A and B are shown apart, each in its own frame.
Chain A
Amino acid sequence: MKHTPSRHLDPRTSLDYLEGLLPGQRRREVEEHLGGPCPGCHDLMRDLGLTVERMRRDRTPEVPAWLHERALAVFRPTVSEPAVAGLMETIARLIFDSWAAPLPAAARRAVGEARRLGFELDGYTIEIEIEPESAGLLTLRGRLAGPDPMLCAIEVTAEAERFIVLPDAHGAFLLERVPAGVLNVVVSTPAGHFRLPTVAP
């Protein structure tokens, strides 16, 4: 059978066919054309049919407002005033570094190779344990002590990668697969943003 270009299917005809809107004669012509070797029209019809089916089968209702609010509530802006954020940051004070002041033997056995650091922020203290993983990666775990740790966020930048972790209700946090390198840490609390002194490897 000869298929002339004029009989190729266009999107409108294809949609009409899929929705049963074509009159009998035209419908037969379409089927005749699809019965022949025309990969372009086959692809068009399959593609349109799949998309229409995905839409028709999608009966998920609107998300209720209370669920949307639950999703919104987990986001805590780390920088509320981007233009002046740098000025608002306060440098946290280092109060402990296990590399500078070696831990007692018992504590060393407990933490292994990990380096432990402690910082004092305004009304908060943060302890961080930095442990090498493998292949140039680190694990950071620690605890942020102070009021409402769940309202805080800890942002770690290493090797141009940025990670954000939200402490749990007890202030505990864990970050894995952080590139081993210079660590820049900013702790955002309701009282303000605190930049920890840079932690060099």
Chain B
Amino acid sequence: MSPPPTPTTFDPAEDARLVERCLAGDARAWDALVRRHERLVYGIARSYSLPEEDLGDVFQDVFTALVRGLPRLRDARALVRWLASTTDRVALATALRRRRERAMSTDPEGLEALPADEPWIGTDLEVHEEQALVRLALGGLSERCRVLLEALYYEDPPPSYAELSRRLGVPIGSLGPTRARCFERLRQGLAALAGGGGIRSGEQPTFGTTGGTSRARRARKEQAASASEETEDTP
């Protein structure tokens, strides 16, 4: 029987510490902060099927806005919500601009050429936010736990227990109990994240918004798409 995985306490204040170091000019902290959250930005931006060039611009705009907003975004959950919402707005504006450009380039009358039933573009932000929080909690686990859970739940198709046993060098019989213990720690990390305070007490961010239901967001997108107007709320 292999020893249980090393317990790792998830630290919900990690983002706050990284933000403090970024504000003090620490480029390594910025790198770490970007690594923690870039997948969320990437996932949302990709859902708009943007060309690579636009994807790069969205990425740059979102993280430029984050640099400006750092003093007010120190909590993991608030950061995730803000990043999701900001990426969504920037990517949506970019996608609509591209759509208009395409229409204008093929028809001098321009916007009238846009079909009314063009497929809905965009993504479900709440799903992305929740997935980002799970990844953050996963990042706080011991390496062994993280590798095990990533293999079981992120690989497609998941490896067999025999393959996992070989990969991790543990008896196959210990995988089930280890997985359950690791999952419990993951849930504890998620609970710690859920208990986060959000934006600094008594304050609102100077830009953007931090929330809204997916229905409200979807309605906003549909409205924007049908009007074919570029949103003006980029950071």
Contact = CB atoms under 8 A, between A and B. Distances in A.
A109 interface: no
Interface in A69-84: 70-75, 77-80, 82
Centre residue among A15, A58, A62, A165 by max chain B CB count within 10 A: A58
Contact of B30 (A11, A51, A72): A72
Given A63-B42, A68-B38, A72-B31, A58 B134 contact: yes
B206 A176 contact: yes
A12 B176 contact: yes
Nearest to B129: A54
Interface residues of B, number: 45
A170 B102 CA distance: 30
Contacts of A121: none
A78 B43 CA distance: 30
A51 B187 contact: yes
Nearest to B47: A60
B67 interface: yes
Contacts, number: 112
A15 B67 contact: no
Q: How large is the interface on A (under 10, 10 to 19, 20 to 34, 35 or more residues)?
A: 35 or more
A41 to B, nearest CB: 15
Contact of B25 (A58, A79, A163, A165): A79
A61 B43 CA distance: 8
A55 B88 CA distance: 21
Given A66-B56, A67-B56, A82-B24, A12 B177 contact: yes
B144 interface: no
B27 interface: yes
A162 interface: yes
B59 A161 contact: no
B166 interface: no
A54 B127 contact: yes
A55 B27 contact: no
B48 interface: no
A16 interface: yes
A47 interface: yes
Interface of A: 10-12, 15-16, 21, 47-48, 51-52, 54-63, 66-68, 70-75, 77-80, 82, 161-166, 176-177
17 contacts: A10-B180, A11-B180, A47-B187, A48-B187, A54-B131, A55-B153, A58-B43, A58-B154, A60-B39, A60-B43, A60-B131, A66-B56, A70-B60, A75-B63, A82-B24, A82-B26, A164-B23
